[in-house]
Structure 1
């Protein structure tokens, strides 16, 4: 068996790179973004292959970017560059001509590959054929597709219960594969369907479902062009959703004001040089945020409450001029309780809790006081906290108070981080399926689906550790590097009997494995998928509920790859055999057949095959967007929520740590070592600290330190980081993900959503001797 490594996601380096620091940027994009994008594409895919793919990405009739879920314009799209720098980098990763053959795996042991960094592992290339790691083996070796599916089927059928298996899904998986994947697991007999949403916007899904009746946003892209105020909380669009900057530019040109709320000053929230405009090309920067509120880590709820309090007080001084009382009376419930709750606070106390001066909060309140067309956007900076669900509900409170929902230019906008993570949930990838969904499955297919709730990500990891899970199937993603408490997670994954990964490229999750491991290489989003002479396509759902087709344009790098649909169908047949009542061969032969079944099972997909072929696709129903609320408890009123402020008590030597992405990565995929906007080059193992904290701790810029977390009496350590002074609130620090996931306790999760609290970890810092 391959040798164990102490911290699989942190790599435990003995040496660091030659770190270079520059002054952080005050603007994003511009010509440097174009140069960086082209450099990655040409190096990985070559000029002809790379440009052919770029010109079809995010185009009508082309393929959907495998990076973020920001929507494409409904109408005109740029014929040259309907993508961003990080979208181009994501494409470069999957369009690469480098491939891993049997010879590669024969020459590289699992232990040897484990010694590489996550970036080095990912840069090796596309996996070109199925490979298998036998019990006690040191190297992956070739295996036929038939034999691979046979082993998976046997392992699943040998379990004492279907609940001893879990089936993970990443946000890259298209609707068609997601639908049949969950259908397979239900016919097999389990709802163990952990997915990447469990680790990111699950707090949003839970909060909005309980508040407005749907776990999704309520705005369209056009709403951004017709709004008065946009509030961006805990989100960094310049790095994580760069195409959003174009929408913000258009909003500004139409007169909108933008309020940014974030512990760090991020380049993409300060200024934007749009490379698709003459001004951007010649270097003219357009201001993004009109007001920047630098909250301390997890100060968001206090800040929102402060805004609500100021609006409430202003309305009571001039009744009916600030809050929408007609909307509150006719469309909501719980307002009186919220009002009484808010009046317990003082502005000064809330300002201290938020870490934002009271006069700045007043300025923000004045910007929205007499406006009703307000959009609030948020991402992981809000959701990955113990009070993540409550904070999202607080955001909803503010919108409901203003009646800023169900009308043009107004609403709630959770910005999803992966291209089809929202579509996965629509396709019923969920460990807690609703009774209506299960009843529909039974009605359409005739079998009784399991009713017991399954494991989400955190519960799956705990179940592996306890020996309750024995087979783990991952549809995409880098499960180990994405998850919290990576030492604990690695120990859990090594207790599996079999780990199965449906992947395009090698990642660390393949190297920390069960007794046996299988990698099933699949087509990428940009690859052609031709069956019986017919080009197939899949469909995806973006952050704003648009379903559109995605059809690959590149020749696959290997003839020995299968689509995700084909892999699921063959895995289902190998497992269920003659006891299945589902037409897997029909699904595998033509994806139109899958969409026809989706239409039967999932509301809002009528005429699916016809409408998905329309240029730009179609919107699925969204009741709150129409000003209607249909909650699970039968209520037709949106709900205000009352929640107490979180309290964080720090010892003198403790700090709050938030995890962030560098500009040279997407999720766990590391493209390079240049965080251009923050001025960090050639090293990722850095900790951003306030200069006053550095001095008080007896440290200085460039010092090497170890980071510790001691939750539950367990010492977690991330070794060898470099101190970097940065504009961040006192007692707050920031580090790159996934290097410090090892510090995120498996027990620290958001209430109700069970999301790991990666944005708020209590740490201690110790200088490395010598």
Structure 2
């Protein structure tokens, strides 16, 4: 299809393939998942190499999956494999022997590569040597490691102030590399440490820390096996954390009930065919959700308050049987004010605002009323709403009423995304470090770390646009594709003096760069990591606070790769030189040395080197899990929080859009062009709509349309999408990211956490205009 002169790196290419819409699945996993898992190994031509690695992934003594952060069992792990379909796909991309060499870059300009879609870019292969883009260059060219570090040092030391640099972190980065990374940034003189938490679960930590005293979940994996009710809200385990379904299955068999709350009836919420059991292969599998509540986008708050109002009614009829008044009296504050607010609410109004039938809400309240062991899980369906912090606080309110935090089989469970995103934050990857943390750094290392808060992701993008940040160093990730307001962000990145990306594979983030750019190829989780002739291991922290070792077992595809820990040390030595008070060479030569000093700085890591070598790793302290709420301003009590119902009004021609991932995707990594469970094959540029909305607008399924957003008085355009009819609440739409990140204003953020509100985007949908590209060229 002919298009204008749009810079192709600003968003994905505008091409529609032979899209097919098939049936929507009602269950997840099973034999199709097994076949899909191994098909990628075959496609990457590593069936033997990859299969060997699969049986070591998530096993004691093996390596941690580079995909999601769902925990491994504390006891025995499955001999058939502790991995899921997407974990196997992630491993296939690491294990591939396809290489992206200097010769490849010589033959392919950045402009030519940007014409490819993200799927094709990711499938080119593993990066093999450092590459450099000179000013006004068109092609990356090889550079030695030594010269690369000299280039970084020269650019950093030329800055007027340290705060003109920002250091981004992805969730793949190990504890050891993360600790050194933040240590270098602080000694360099800045707290500008945007990270992937700023785009996924910053909202969770912001809500939980002041209410229960810790910004993490309070449950262990075993709690899922012995509980009464599991509530899954704004999260799709079948795609985002497939191994979670095994835990849900076990809980169901032990008597737990499951309530699923989501705008879409996702297959992973409805049913599960466990491929490791006969019943999951040839039987009917397990029905997961006992109750599905089809909430409107951002109708969750109204739904939660409706449930609480019904629980209050049940409590009045059965005093002391619904609410845990002993717990409320001993462990909480603010109960009376919290209860008084319900005098102003009407159940019918709340039901209407939520989009869920009143009868279904009543059933949910009835399932919760006389149960005490309740787990509530959530994902980015909540955290990326503008009122996401309040909604998570409302979840805490509900659990406090029931006394369902700090006891076995009960608590909060934010389901984290990338495999060490929680560990990064524990290692002080944080643009707002606490005074306690900074005091400890100063005491242990003898320099004065900066006290001024730094930039998170959204503020860093704005600072780049305003010329306040001039160097961006990315430790992993795909910054452009992960962030909002794609065109705005791309323009900001291109203003930088230097961008540096530490990566395993090529991605779109390498194709939108500063005036100069470096790509530094690093080892993957599954690669053997040799330092001074001795194989090293790293450590990570999963969603439930377990720190464990991870040791690769595959021969690296190139002898020019460098591990992340040594990359940080080499950068520090080149940049800081003799003015550093830290022995970076010591860390460069030994991960044990890094862990020794982590132990000195971060509570819970006592005897780190010994305990991380234990088969099962070790749990970090979690006072709230033990029933102790150490909260600022409330002593040892958890406060009830007063929240409000949002006004989600839409103009007659507006729709609410939420972005999501396909089943063939993990974060910004595209494994394929199918979304098997939702019935989409060979395409990603689709917009899911309710059939009533399609009819009212005069469209029909299969029509080509353009999507528009007008936040901040700016016209943002995502052209050429295909309408797909889907069971979704009226006036709601779903699209895939990163294709529609271009519609998410950099100013559309979650209150308090300042995360992009990518699940709450007002759009207009118009028939596709072939001249739209010319119009976009003029923006």
TM-score for the superposition, normalised by structure 1? 0.99
Query: Does 1:407 find its partner at 2:388?
Result: no
Using the alignment, how far apart are the partners of 2:111 and 2:661 within structure 1? 27
Using the alignment, how far apart are the partners of 2:632 and 2:405 within structure 1? 19
Query: Does 1:629 find its partner at 2:629?
Result: yes
Counterpart in 1 of 2:11?
10
Query: Does 1:473 find its partner at 2:507?
Result: no
Counterpart in 2 of 1:398?
398
In the TM superposition, residue 604 of structure 1 has moved relative to its aligned partner by 0.4
In the TM superposition, residue 316 of structure 1 has moved relative to its aligned partner by 2.1
In the TM superposition, residue 338 of structure 1 has moved relative to its aligned partner by 1.0
Counterpart in 2 of 1:672?
672
Using the alignment, how far apart are the partners of 1:285 and 1:227 within structure 2? 21
Structure 1 window deviating more from structure 2 (232-241 vs 311-320): it is 311-320
- Residues 546 and 617 of structure 2 are in contact (CA less than 8 Å); yes or no, is this contact kept in structure 1? yes
Using the alignment, how far apart are the partners of 2:491 and 2:504 within structure 1? 25
Counterpart in 2 of 1:131?
131
Using the alignment, how far apart are the partners of 1:606 and 1:121 within structure 2? 43
Using the alignment, how far apart are the partners of 1:11 and 1:221 within structure 2? 38
Structure 1 residues 532, 769: CA separation in 2 closer, same or farther (over 3 Å shift)? closer
Counterpart in 2 of 1:309?
309
Counterpart in 1 of 2:279?
279
Using the alignment, how far apart are the partners of 2:384 and 2:193 within structure 1? 20
In the TM superposition, residue 229 of structure 1 has moved relative to its aligned partner by 0.2
Counterpart in 2 of 1:574?
574
In the TM superposition, residue 4 of structure 1 has moved relative to its aligned partner by 8.4
- Residues 218 and 411 of structure 1 are in contact (CA less than 8 Å); yes or no, is this contact kept in structure 2? yes
In the TM superposition, residue 8 of structure 1 has moved relative to its aligned partner by 3.3
In the TM superposition, residue 543 of structure 1 has moved relative to its aligned partner by 0.4
Stretches of structure 2 that go unaligned for 5 or more consecutive residues are 771-779
Counterpart in 1 of 2:35?
35
Using the alignment, how far apart are the partners of 1:663 and 1:715 within structure 2? 30
Using the alignment, how far apart are the partners of 2:92 and 2:255 within structure 1? 37
Mapping 1:136-215, distance limit 5 Å = 136-215=136-215
**Equivalent position SS for 1:547:** strand
Mapping 1:133-532, distance limit 5 Å = 133-532=133-532
**Equivalent position SS for 2:207:** helix
**Equivalent position SS for 1:759:** coil
Per-residue Cα deviation, 1:647-666 (whole angstroms, up to 9, x for no partner) = 11111110000111101000
Mapping 1:675-686, distance limit 5 Å = 675-686=675-686
Stretches of structure 1 that go unaligned for 5 or more consecutive residues are none
**Equivalent position SS for 2:663:** coil
- Residues 238 and 268 of structure 1 are in contact (CA less than 8 Å); yes or no, is this contact kept in structure 2? yes
Per-residue Cα deviation, 1:593-622 (whole angstroms, up to 9, x for no partner) = 000000000000001000000001000000
- Residues 45 and 92 of structure 1 are in contact (CA less than 8 Å); yes or no, is this contact kept in structure 2? no
Using the alignment, how far apart are the partners of 2:422 and 2:367 within structure 1? 32
- Residues 30 and 283 of structure 1 are in contact (CA less than 8 Å); yes or no, is this contact kept in structure 2? no
Structure 1 residues 631, 537: CA separation in 2 closer, same or farther (over 3 Å shift)? same
**Equivalent position SS for 2:459:** helix
Using the alignment, how far apart are the partners of 1:478 and 1:343 within structure 2? 48
Counterpart in 2 of 1:107?
107
- Residues 701 and 725 of structure 1 are in contact (CA less than 8 Å); yes or no, is this contact kept in structure 2? yes
Per-residue Cα deviation, 1:556-590 (whole angstroms, up to 9, x for no partner) = 00000000001000001111101111111111111
Using the alignment, how far apart are the partners of 1:210 and 1:119 within structure 2? 41
Using the alignment, how far apart are the partners of 2:169 and 2:259 within structure 1? 34
Using the alignment, how far apart are the partners of 1:426 and 1:267 within structure 2? 33
Counterpart in 1 of 2:732?
732
Query: Does 1:118 find its partner at 2:118?
Result: yes
In the TM superposition, residue 639 of structure 1 has moved relative to its aligned partner by 1.3
In the TM superposition, residue 321 of structure 1 has moved relative to its aligned partner by 1.1
TM-score for the superposition, normalised by structure 2? 0.98
In the TM superposition, residue 634 of structure 1 has moved relative to its aligned partner by 6.5
Mapping 1:745-756, distance limit 5 Å = 745-756=745-756
Per-residue Cα deviation, 1:356-409 (whole angstroms, up to 9, x for no partner) = 011110100000100010000000000101101000100111011100011110
Using the alignment, how far apart are the partners of 2:351 and 2:140 within structure 1? 56
**Equivalent position SS for 1:501:** strand
Per-residue Cα deviation, 1:32-83 (whole angstroms, up to 9, x for no partner) = 0000000102221512111111010000010000000000000010112110
Using the alignment, how far apart are the partners of 1:583 and 1:633 within structure 2? 40
In the TM superposition, residue 346 of structure 1 has moved relative to its aligned partner by 1.2
Using the alignment, how far apart are the partners of 1:177 and 1:614 within structure 2? 21
In the TM superposition, residue 317 of structure 1 has moved relative to its aligned partner by 2.5
Using the alignment, how far apart are the partners of 2:424 and 2:519 within structure 1? 22
Using the alignment, how far apart are the partners of 2:634 and 2:573 within structure 1? 39
Using the alignment, how far apart are the partners of 1:584 and 1:478 within structure 2? 27
- Residues 133 and 140 of structure 1 are in contact (CA less than 8 Å); yes or no, is this contact kept in structure 2? yes
- Residues 8 and 115 of structure 2 are in contact (CA less than 8 Å); yes or no, is this contact kept in structure 1? no
Counterpart in 2 of 1:723?
723
Structure 1 residues 769, 719: CA separation in 2 closer, same or farther (over 3 Å shift)? closer
Tell me the matched-pair count.
767
Counterpart in 2 of 1:26?
26
Using the alignment, how far apart are the partners of 2:534 and 2:325 within structure 1? 57
Using the alignment, how far apart are the partners of 2:46 and 2:121 within structure 1? 21
Using the alignment, how far apart are the partners of 2:280 and 2:732 within structure 1? 34
Using the alignment, how far apart are the partners of 1:318 and 1:253 within structure 2? 29
In the TM superposition, residue 769 of structure 1 has moved relative to its aligned partner by 4.5
- Residues 9 and 481 of structure 1 are in contact (CA less than 8 Å); yes or no, is this contact kept in structure 2? no
- Residues 708 and 715 of structure 1 are in contact (CA less than 8 Å); yes or no, is this contact kept in structure 2? yes
- Residues 96 and 126 of structure 2 are in contact (CA less than 8 Å); yes or no, is this contact kept in structure 1? yes
Mapping 1:755-766, distance limit 5 Å = 755-766=755-766
CA RMSD between the two structures = 1.1
Using the alignment, how far apart are the partners of 2:99 and 2:631 within structure 1? 49
**Equivalent position SS for 2:9:** coil
Using the alignment, how far apart are the partners of 1:354 and 1:304 within structure 2? 9
- Residues 309 and 343 of structure 1 are in contact (CA less than 8 Å); yes or no, is this contact kept in structure 2? no
- Residues 62 and 552 of structure 2 are in contact (CA less than 8 Å); yes or no, is this contact kept in structure 1? yes
Structure 1 residues 347, 634: CA separation in 2 closer, same or farther (over 3 Å shift)? closer
Per-residue Cα deviation, 1:315-349 (whole angstroms, up to 9, x for no partner) = 12222110011111111111111111123111111
Counterpart in 2 of 1:98?
98
**Equivalent position SS for 1:179:** helix
Using the alignment, how far apart are the partners of 2:418 and 2:243 within structure 1? 14
Using the alignment, how far apart are the partners of 2:269 and 2:93 within structure 1? 27
Counterpart in 2 of 1:559?
559
Using the alignment, how far apart are the partners of 2:45 and 2:333 within structure 1? 55
Using the alignment, how far apart are the partners of 1:34 and 1:86 within structure 2? 10
Using the alignment, how far apart are the partners of 1:380 and 1:663 within structure 2? 15
In the TM superposition, residue 9 of structure 1 has moved relative to its aligned partner by 5.4
